[in-house]
Structure 1
């Protein structure tokens, strides 16, 4: 049966719809609360803090309640918090609403990836990029709708209220098919094998961390780069994020084949180079078309990073359900969402968005050494297990 595979794909898409909807309206939200780039970056810190806090405890909650229950609860909370974001009239209230949406999305992220690993294990092959393609298609749909809403002068409140209803309506028909209705029996990890003591998980977390910073910057700041530095309107600026998500989604659809054909390490290394080149082009070339092309190239390069890191983390937790391993890697990665917005906003405040995205390009390039290190650490770990047995 493919019901669980389709259901998990839809969950990823719903999460993407939520992100694409509010992230593409950052220019309007910044105007609505009368915030400068630096202050708005601090408001975005609320979402990052919520994500980090939720991801830190999500693994253990999912172990006890099951992925399906957590998916349902966190989706409902995400929809409600989207409405609050749309209506926020001041920076403190916006930061509070973003804190709530960050927490709900953080919990949803871990739960949907745990469900995805369950489907991978049933099928006996890695297909995580396919599920993350669902997220990208959802984010693309959300960003395109945001562009239409901005072009027709819809306020963030009106737009995000409609988006919240759509997201909830899309999820309801497939919720029962999401794996993890109840916790399954799992063996306890051996002493000394806790996630925090495993170098391979730290290095996979570094891959996801760099990817999160680069992807988060493209989500939160691409529209502002295009409006402030390239002089395009808000509706056209939203298309930069749309191009990023479209190419990322299409690349992720091919990611399952690429992972089987070339292996995850080669895919991660090649993606790092592409992402760095694309972000550097968007930052350095003062032409709007170069910005769109650069973000598209960055989408292709970053497509494999986060899903492959989480898939490898879930595989590293094969003694159990992988909840703690995925939660650990996700929590570390979310420090990128935590630190990224104020850093990018601070650099943009002092200099400009071009130099800010130059920094992001450098971060994307660091995925390559982290991926190589993760492969070596995994090989050492497997060799040690073989010797012990």
Structure 2
């Protein structure tokens, strides 16, 4: 499963890192190109909204294989797109493919957790971060050697498929067996615990997206560092996030998911607020590193708990619950960065990241509320039986 998550990250890191070349290839202004990029976000959100039901019927393995193949083909289309409408359409396809893959791989990861009876979701999400970093580094090398987006993304697509083939049989869920239906009235939209877990994932997505997209601009505009040095803030954020995710399963087993979410919320909020308010470059680097550590487990733990909330008596289930939480979280990746940019436009980046720090702090009450809601559900089921 680590490889599957890495393949997803590789796909994202590969095409997202070539946006300057893609914009030049289709002769798009920044505003027009930004609208084309919305195709990817819209595709991810649309796919995540229906992925749970598809995975229930086809199985996670089939969906992982199919969506990876579609993502690879879409990467090639993105690389060779000659005009903005075609690029937007190709980005819509890759967004749908990656969105479907994202839900399917998390469903499969929850199945692995149930099989081995220990939490390892943060380690799988570390694979995604490793893949994204590898894709970004490969994109940098490709651009440095003068490779066109078409040539580069074709090679990246072949690598992604080749990496998946040896491990696809190990992905759970090839032939879903008939299972008991969820209890009446247990649709995800009617369950407070899932809304609260979605709030955890949403706040995490907003904070993570803002840190990825705006950290370098905060460092250059407010702390006076050069562009090269400013990029180290994002690099530090990602590196600490990967390392924390690799160690996250051990912390979860020792302290439990709710305590990990609460501690991460406090750490991320403190780091972001320090980066926003302390007018020293070192505080910015340290703050974003702390934010990476604090946010590392939030998204994977929210999905793991959503899968657990959907677990049936026969040990299956959770597909629709994970899809529900993922879809809401994607709205954070879609809307968070523009909101931060708008706040920065009318104030400054310090105020904008102060807002992001407060959003990260909301993970704490949402996590505590989710635990209480889950306890109430369990008590109600016990009373009914």
| Shorter-chain TM-score range | 0.7 to 0.9
Partner of 2:327: 331
- 1:16 is aligned, of 9, 15, 35, to 9
> Quick one: structure 1 residues 51 and 237, their matched pair in 2 at CA, closer, same or farther if it must change by over 3 Å?
farther
In the alignment, is the contact (CA less than 8 A) between 2:216 and 2:227 conserved in 1? no
- 2:136 is aligned, of 136, 143, 163, to 143
CA deviation profile, 1:213-265 (whole Å, cap 9, x unmatched) = 2222334444565677766457x666544332221111111111111111111
In the alignment, is the contact (CA less than 8 A) between 1:204 and 1:374 conserved in 2? yes
**2:218 maps to 1:210:** no
Please, which runs of 5 or more residues in structure 2 have no aligned partner? none
CA deviation profile, 1:91-130 (whole Å, cap 9, x unmatched) = 5554433322221111001100111111111112222112
CA distance, structure 2, for counterparts of residue 225 and residue 22 of structure 1: 24
Q: CA deviation at 1:356?
A: 3.8
**2:186 maps to 1:193:** yes
Listed as ranges, the matches of 1:148-167 within 5 Å are 148-150=141-143, 156-167=149-160
Listed as ranges, the matches of 1:38-49 within 5 Å are 41-49=34-42
Listed as ranges, the matches of 1:307-386 within 5 Å are 307-319=300-312, 320-350=316-346, 353-386=349-382
Q: Report which stretch shifted further, 312-321 or 335-344.
A: 335-344
In the alignment, is the contact (CA less than 8 A) between 1:144 and 1:238 conserved in 2? no
Partner of 1:3: none
Root-mean-square deviation (CA, aligned residues, Å) is 2.8
- 2:289 is aligned, of 296, 308, 312, to 296
In the alignment, is the contact (CA less than 8 A) between 1:79 and 1:164 conserved in 2? yes
Partner of 1:279: 272
- Count of residue pairs the alignment pairs up: 380
> Quick one: structure 1 residues 240 and 35, their matched pair in 2 at CA, closer, same or farther if it must change by over 3 Å?
farther
> Quick one: structure 1 residues 11 and 223, their matched pair in 2 at CA, closer, same or farther if it must change by over 3 Å?
farther
Q: CA deviation at 1:204?
A: 0.4
- 1:168 is aligned, of 146, 149, 161, to 161
CA distance, structure 1, for counterparts of residue 220 and residue 210 of structure 2: 15
Q: Any idea what SS the aligned residue of 2:180 has?
A: coil
**2:44 maps to 1:51:** yes
Q: Any idea what SS the aligned residue of 1:251 has?
A: helix
**2:103 maps to 1:107:** no
In the alignment, is the contact (CA less than 8 A) between 1:41 and 1:341 conserved in 2? no
Q: Report which stretch shifted further, 105-114 or 12-21.
A: 12-21
Listed as ranges, the matches of 1:230-309 within 5 Å are 232-233=226-227, 239-284=232-277, 290-309=283-302
Q: CA deviation at 1:197?
A: 1.1
Q: CA deviation at 1:158?
A: 4.4
Q: Report which stretch shifted further, 321-330 or 16-25.
A: 16-25
CA distance, structure 2, for counterparts of residue 103 and residue 354 of structure 1: 34
> Quick one: structure 1 residues 364 and 92, their matched pair in 2 at CA, closer, same or farther if it must change by over 3 Å?
farther
> Quick one: structure 1 residues 358 and 165, their matched pair in 2 at CA, closer, same or farther if it must change by over 3 Å?
farther
CA distance, structure 2, for counterparts of residue 278 and residue 151 of structure 1: 34
CA deviation profile, 1:318-353 (whole Å, cap 9, x unmatched) = 114211111111111112123224323444555555
In the alignment, is the contact (CA less than 8 A) between 1:144 and 1:242 conserved in 2? no
Partner of 2:119: 126
Q: CA deviation at 1:174?
A: 1.0
Larger radius of gyration: 2
Q: CA deviation at 1:14?
A: 0.8
Partner of 1:4: none
- 1:64 is aligned, of 15, 33, 57, to 57
